[in-house]
Structure 1
Amino acid sequence: MEWFYKFPHMDDDALRNLKKAIDDGFRAFTRTYGDAIESLFSPLQHFLIAADRFMTQTPWPIITAIILVIAWFASRSLKVVLGCLVTLLLIGYFDMWDDTMRTVSMIFVCTVLSIAIGIPMGILMARSDRLQRIINPILDVMQTMPSFVYLIPVVMLLGIGKVPGLIAVVIYAIPPMIRLTDLGIRLVDKDVLEAADAFGTSSSQKLFKVQLPLALPTIMAGINQTIMMALAMVVVASMIGVQGLGQPVLKAIANQYFTLGIFNGLAIVGIAIIFDRVSQAYGKRLQKHREIVHG
C-alpha cells in the first residue's frame, strides 16, 4: 500500500542522471556557441548603452522637458503633465535621478524590442488560428514561469551584465504585447473588412490602413502592460548586473536599510504611474478618435 501514500516517481539515480545529462548538455552548448550568440546581441548592447548615456548625461532640465512634452502630446491633459513634473522633481530632490534614468533607458529599450517582436508575432497569430494554438501555450509558460528562472539560462549563455538582464525582462514582459495585438486585430469589425475587400484593397493595404489603425487602442493597452511588467522585473534584473533603481532596493534588502528600500521603491512606483497614465491617456484618445470615425 506504499504506492497509495507516496506518489510513484522515477528512480532517484535515473532522475539524477537525467538532470545531469541536461545540465551537461546545456553547459556544452554554452561553451560551443556562447561567443557566437553573444556577438548576435552586440547591436542590442550598443543601443542600450547609447540610451543609457543619453538619459544619464543629458542635463536634467532637458530630460524633464522631453518627458513633459511627450506626456502632453500623448494625453493633452494638464493634470497628467503636472503629475509627471512633480514626480520627476521629487525623484531628483531625493537624489535618485541617475538610477531612475538608467531604469527608464532600460524600460525604453525593452519596450522598443517588445514592440518590434510582439506586433509582427501578434499579426501572424491573428492571421492563423493554427499558429495561435501553438503560440498561446508558450505565452502561458512565459507569463507563469517564476521570473528568477529566466535568469539561469540567460546568465549561462551571456554572463552577467545589461544585455542578459534586458533579455530576461523582454521574455517576461512581451506576452501581453503579442496577445493584445492578436486580440485587437481579431476584434476589428467584419463589416469594415468586407467594405475594404469591396474596394479592392490588397492584403497588406487592409492590414496597414484598416486593421492596425482600428486595433491601435488595444495594441496601446498591450504596450502599457508590457511597460508595467518590465518595471516589475527591475529588482530581479538587478541581481545580474542591471543598473538602476533595482540595485539600491537589492542593497536595502541585503543590509536591511528600510528608508533606502522605501525611497527607491517609491521611485519605481512613480515611474510606473507616469508610464501608465501617459500610455492610458493616449489609448483613450485613440479610442475616442476611432469612435468619431465610426460615428
Structure 2
Amino acid sequence: MNFELLLFSPGAYLAPAVDWLNANFHPFFDAVSKAVESVLVAFESALLYPPAYVVITVAVLAAAYFTTVRVALVVLVSLGFCLLAGLWTACMQTVALVVVAVFVSVLIAFPLGVLASRHKRLEAGLRPILDVMQTVPPWVYLIPAVMVFSLGRVPATIATIVYGIPPMLRLTTLAFNQVPKPLVEMGQAIGAPTRSILFKIEIPSAMPTLIVGLNQCILLSLAMVVLAGLVGGGGLGAEVTRGLTRMEMGLGLRAGLSIVAVAILLDRVSKGALQSRRRRLG
C-alpha cells in the first residue's frame, strides 16, 4: 500500500497562495509595511531622542500623577535597571514594539469581544478559531509574516499583534458576559442610550476582567520579543539571540532580566491607569 497518498503537506498549498498574494497585493502589503515601520520609528524616536534620565523622570512623574506613587517607584526601578544594564536602546525598541502591538491587538479584540458577548453565534464561530490561534506555537506566526513582509520589525510586529489578540478577545467576551443583567436592564429602563450603558455601566463592571485580559495580552506580546529577534525584530529579543548564539551568559542574562523589567513596567502602569479610570468612573 502506498502511504504517500495519505500524506498531507500544508506547505504545498500555502506556498502558492502566499506567492499569489505577493504578486497581486504587493502594493497593499507595502503600504502596511511602511505604515507600521513609520509608527515604530516615530515611537522609538520619541523615546530615544531625549537623554535617558529625562525619559525616566517624565515617566516617573507621569506614573505618579496618573496612577500611584507605588507604581511610580516600579517605573523608576524598572527603567533604572534597563539603563544600568547597558541595554537602554534595546529596551526602548522593545517597549515601542510591544506598546504598538498591544494597542492594535486591543483595538481589534475589544470590539470583537463586545460583539461576541452580544451575539452567541459569533461567539460560537470565533471559539474554534481562537482555540487554533492559541494552540499553534508562537514562532509559527512568524513564518507567513516573514514570507509576506520579509525580514525586519514589521513581520515581528504583525506576528505579535496576531498572537496577542486571542487572550484579549476571550477575556473581553467573558467580562461582558459577566456584567450583572439587572444593571443593564436598569439602564435600559431609564431610557439610557446604548453608548451610555456601554461606557457607564458595562465597561466599569467588566473592568477587573478587562485588566486581566490586557495583562495577558502584554505578557504574550513580550513572549514574542525573543522570537522576534530571530527575524530581525531588534530590541531585547536580538540581544537574547546574540547572547545565545555567542554563548555569552552575561549578555543573555541581562537581556532576559531587562525583558522581565519591561514586563513589570508595562503591567503595573497599564493596570494602575485602568484602575484609576475605574475609580473615577465609579
Task: Give the TM-score normalised by structure 2.
Answer: 0.91
Residues 69-148 of structure 1 correspond to what in structure 2 (within 5 A)?
A: 69-76=61-68, 78-148=69-139
Counterpart of 2:54 in structure 1 is 62
Counterpart of 2:4 (choices 8, 12, 36) is: 12
Question: Which position in structure 1 is the counterpart of 2:171?
Answer: 180
AA aligned to 2:185 is E
Q: Does 1:195 align with 2:186?
A: yes
Aligned residue type for 1:263: R
- 1:151 corresponding residue in structure 2: 142
**Letter matched to residue 25 of structure 1:** A
CA deviation after TM superposition for structure 1 residue 177, in Å: 1.4
Q: Which amino acid aligns with 2:118?
A: R
Do the aligned partners of residues 213 and 80 (structure 1) sit closer, same or farther apart at CA in structure 2, a change above 3 Å counting? Answer: closer
Does the CA-based 8 Å contact 2:178-2:206 persist in structure 1?
A: yes
Residue 46 (1) aligns with residue 51 (2): no
2:257 counterpart letter in structure 1: L
SS of the residue corresponding to residue 7 of structure 2 reads: helix
Aligned-residue offset at 1:20: 2.5
Q: CA deviation at 1:119?
A: 1.1
Whole-Å Cα distance in 2 between the matches of residues 198 and 174 of structure 1? 34
Question: 1:33 aligned to 2:25?
Answer: yes
Relative to structure 1, the CA distance from residue 66 to residue 118 in structure 2 (aligned partners, 3 Å threshold; closer, same or farther) is farther
SS at match of 1:245: helix
Distance 1:73 1:185, change over 3 A: farther
- The alignment-based identity, stated in percent, is 33
Cα distance in 2, alignment partners of residues 14 and 34 from structure 1: 35
User: Does the 8 Å contact 2:81/2:261 carry over to 1?
Assistant: no
Mapped to 1, the partners of 2:179 and 2:8 lie a distance apart of: 52
CA contact (8 A) 1:74 1:278 kept: no
8 A Cα contact 1:217 1:286, kept in partner: no
Corresponding position: 1:163 with 2:131: no
Judged with a 3 Å threshold, the aligned counterparts in structure 2 of structure 1 residues 238 and 185 are, in CA distance, closer, same or farther, namely same
Deviations 1:65-96 (A, max 9, x none): 232134324541x3332232123222212211
| Deviation larger for 39-48 or 154-163 | 39-48
Higher Cα Rg: structure 1 or 2? Answer: 1
**What whole-Å deviation, never above 9, does each CA across 1:24-65 have from its counterpart, x for those lacking one?**
333233233233223234323211111111112122122112
Q: Report deviation, 1:252.
A: 1.0
Equivalent position SS for 1:225: helix
CA RMSD of aligned residues (A): 2.3
Q: Distance in 2 between matches of 1:19 and 1:239?
A: 21
Change (3 A) 1:177 1:69: farther
Partner residue, 1:237: 228
Shift of 1:267: 0.6
Q: Mind listing any 5+ residue stretches in structure 1 that lack a counterpart?
A: 1-7
